[in-house]
A = this chain, B = another copy of it.
């Protein structure tokens, strides 16, 4: 917009602050592209300066590739390392290519070691090495060490800088120790008490420390809830533990139970967010897809589940094909049969979504699985009966055939009960088999409801209508 208007385009008072949670205003992108069009570095910097790195990253994701390159090149050495951390992976690789070696080196050196790990872990070897080269020796070693832990493990997520104290210290000793430290981490919330073998034994919050007298023993101030995380634990399970036990930070231990790092809740929250994103996208058969992937990657991501769906749809068609003779005698069946299948598919999706979520939150367990399956079948039965009456009446009115009404009603009840059973049973079985139920349940459940829907409706029709 407004390539022909002079600056300033919009004064801040003109902006409508419709969403206080988000500091990036809708017209900021336009003003920044305008500054770049004019080659006006001063205005660009003035626009970018007040923005949080997360907002700059969002802005770079929202403009197109051509503008992105121009913004980054004009912005030059103002480019902050945190912007890289915040960028979506698909855009990050592109942006790395636009940065001059000097700007990149400067940007990366500003980052904490856990952020560098996050930045480089998905990169190709040569891009990874180019970034690691610019680090100081000690940082490079820390990053390389972290990269030896499995992907998506607590080891990749943790900070290596920990603030710890021997369990026999008192408050005064801890405070004096911290006063004399020059390299305390940017963010920390607890002092971790350790025994002589470096096993973590408790957490003391800084607040407790500050409000206690110097002679109080640290061991008398430990938090009631204390959760230790194995370094190889899957990051999704780490996020779960933080959310379940309201942890703020938790020590990470190696296979000998020795303290090797600490994970803080902000990292756990980011993982929780990604895990949810993954679940929701997997349930929809989208795989890894993001908004910023190009169209070739997107096409490739979407293809497999459409292919699976094609196979299941053909399966359903094979069922219909068995009843060609019946349909040709009574075309109303072709008109009504998608209704039965569609209602079953919807009811199945409802059940399966509740089940998949409940498995993810550890709420669906051996202790209640039969109760839940029974409930879902009952819900299917009751809703099935209601819609059976509705569709039966519609069948009679529309096609003037009471028999057709009975058939569609019966098929509806059968399919909704099956939907409830399949919607709960399939995710539970997949989970037991070690398959992510979010990933595969949808295809199985709709296959079941399509096949049963067509089979029940056309089968009953063949038996009772002709």
Q: Interface of A with B (CB < 8 Å)?
A: 19-24, 26, 29-30, 52, 54-55, 58, 61-64, 163, 175, 178-179, 181, 184-185, 187-189, 205-207, 209-211, 213, 225, 227, 229-230, 233-234, 237-238, 240-248, 265-266, 268-270, 272-273, 276-277, 279-281, 283-286, 289-292, 294-295, 298-299, 302-303, 305-307, 309-310, 312-314, 316-317, 320-321, 324, 327-328, 331-339, 341-343, 346-347, 349-350, 352-354, 357-358, 362-368, 371-372, 375-376, 378-379, 382-383, 386-387, 390-391, 394, 446, 450, 454
In the complex, the chain B residue whose C-beta lies closest to that of A341 is B338
- A241-B22, A280-B280, A314-B339 as given contacts; A291 in contact with B362, CB under 8 Å: no
Q: Within the assembled complex, what's the spacing in Å between the Cα atoms of A50 and B188?
A: 27
Do B310 and A20 touch across chains, with their CB atoms under 8 A apart? no
Top 5 A-B pairs, shortest CB-CB distance: A21-B237, A284-B353, A206-B206, A334-B334, A276-B276
Which of A21, A163, A205, A312 has the largest count of B CB atoms less than 10 A from its CB? A21
| Chain B residues whose C-beta falls within 8 Å of the C-beta of A390 in the assembled complex | 310
Tell me how many chains of this kind the complex includes: 2
Min Cβ gap A71→B in Å is: 13
B209 touches A187 (CB 8 A): no
**Residues B22 and A362 in contact, CB atoms below 8 Å apart:** yes
A243 touches B273 (CB 8 A): yes
What are the residues of chain B within 8 A of A321 when measuring CB–CB?
Answer: 335
Cβ contact within 8 Å between A26 and B367: yes
CA distance A285 to B383 in the complex (A): 14
